[in-house]
Amino acid sequence: MTPQNLMLLPLSTPKLSIGCPILDGCLGGGIPCNSITELVGERGSGKTQLCLQLTVRAQLPPSHGGLGGSSLCIFTEFSFSFRRLQQLGNLYHASYPNLIGMEPLEDIYVHGVHDAQQLIHVLRDIQAFIAINHTRLPVKLIVIDSIAALFRSQYQTTPTDLKRWYEIFFKISGTLKALANKFGLAVVVTNQVVDFIGPHDGVNGVRLGNLECLHTSGRRVSATLGLAWAHCINSRVFLARHLQSVGVNSRNAPSPIISTQTHRTFDLVFPPICPMHRLNL
């Protein structure tokens, strides 16, 4: 990259709106193109739901917060939620009948992978697929849900396996960043969490991101895949759930009835251009 090339870069990066003005404001306008954004959280925190919503919203024109393009969705665990995606497609078509095609799912391409090596091969095929440009709308979004599932069962934590992890991490992230920069894509990956036991100042005194520590469901957690993978992404968003006890007074009850409510938070852990945010949802 030379100073002359830097001068040719656009002043602003296109962004994909999440559909919520508050969340978009937290992200500086939405999910940015030309970079990798990670959504990390425990199971049931809303990562997949958010990804499905983004795959449909990408079809909207930029004037309505979309990218005017189609989406590639790569899933690595469980069965893909086609039913939920169909529901979202129908909802957005009803809301934007003149902007989204009659069959929104025709502009969403889904592929399942089972291990990291298969993902690397699929990403190579994706480059040729995008370059051919035979889709109705140009591909503008790649979603991988989830990246952690490719490594949890395949490798152990021996030094040899960790070395292989790092090599694969950099190969996957390098390919994704190359695709994002070459075709102006937004890339979204999801990651899981594990319980964290250790000092409050991070691992060996290294604190990753703006938050001192991450908490969800009353547990202290950290993102899986460790520090090496954290250096492979550009932005990390942490989705958390917290159960709160709420007392409700009832005329027929001698004492307040205690019920639980799910309280959700949205944290921007480390962003390249935005200040840290915490939102209560």
Domain total for the chain?
Answer: 1
The whole-model pTM stands at 0.85
Of the candidate ranges 172-181, 206-215, 266-275, the one whose mean pLDDT is the lowest: 206-215
Does residue 70 sit within a domain? yes
> Residue 251 falls within a domain, yes or no?
no
Q: Which among 69, 220, 251, 239 is positioned nearest to 143, based on CA atoms?
A: 69
* pLDDT at 99 > cutoff 60: yes
Mean pLDDT of 212-238: 85
Q: Is 217 left (phi over 0), alpha (psi -120 to 50) or beta?
A: left
Indicate whether 173 belongs to any domain. yes
Residue 211 pLDDT greater than 60, yes or no: no
Phi-psi label, residue 49: left if phi above 0, alpha if psi -120 to 50, beta otherwise: alpha
The CATH number of the domain holding residue 182 is 3.40.50.300
DSSP 71: E
The verdict on residue 112 lying in a domain is yes
Q: Could you tell me if residue 4 is inside a domain? A: no
Q: Which domain does 128 fall in, by range?
A: 12-197+223-242
Contact 127, 120 (CB under 8 A): no
Task: List all residues 6 or more positions away from 15 whose beta carbon is below 8 Å from its beta carbon.
Answer: 24, 27, 28, 29, 30, 31, 32, 33, 186
Specify the range with the lowest mean pLDDT, choosing from 1-10, 98-107, 134-143: 1-10
Domain annotation covers residue 272: no
In a domain, 273, yes or no: no
